[in-house]
Amino acid sequence: MTNTGSNFIHHYTPATKTGHSPLLLLHGTGGDENDLVPMGQAVAPGAALVSPRGKVLENGMPRFFRRLAEGVFDEDDLRLRAAELAEFIAQARNDYALPAPFALGFSNGANMAAALLLLHPEALAGAVLLRAMKPLQTMPTPDLTGKRILLLAGATDPIIPADNARGLAEHLQNCGAAVEFHTLPVGHGLSQADLRLTSEFLS
């Protein structure tokens, strides 16, 4: 179901089973609210899915925040958009009677999920970060105790250096999160290993 009644165009799928946290699906550059729905259904069958469309356009392609160049983020815009998305999550939880969701983000969406964890940790129960990098030059250090995070990097990712992803994982762990980090023998795109590890983590 696509909903345009909030401040984000978004897809919502109600839960059909108990036992799964709801998933907040955050697409990569050029995706939309439908992109990660099949993955969400595959890795967490029966879970409620909330999937917003990024509101920033880059050459006509939706994103969750602006960037100045590849790998160089507009941090003022990122902070603004993270606050906006945290408000949307609170509204969606109220509208759909949901507990705090796990974010499942890919690329730009994973970077937004990482920013939410650092800037608005109350918005998420945890996260799966697929091809994420440090979202901010100066990283906040919130208390993330009790939050579970899976971070999957690509060994041959041409966009995100493995050391950057590892540094993000270490920072989140230093903030108290329970972090599981893997570097997979893949590039920036998603693989069967991403699906398997995500499914195991969420179950």
CA-CA distance, 98 to 22, in Å (whole number)?
7
The CATH number given to whatever domain includes residue 97 is 3.40.50.1820
Convert the pLDDT of each residue in 129-164 to its tens digit. 999 999 999 999 999 999 999 999 999 999 998 899
Could you report the per-residue pLDDT of 53-95, keeping only the tens digit for each? 999 999 999 999 999 988 789 999 999 999 999 999 999 999 9
Cα 128 to the center of its chain, rounded Å: 6
pTM of the model: 0.95
| Domain around 23 | 2-202
- Beta strand 10-13 pairing with 2-3: antiparallel
- Which residues carry out catalysis? 107, 157, 188
Q: How many domains does the chain have?
A: 1
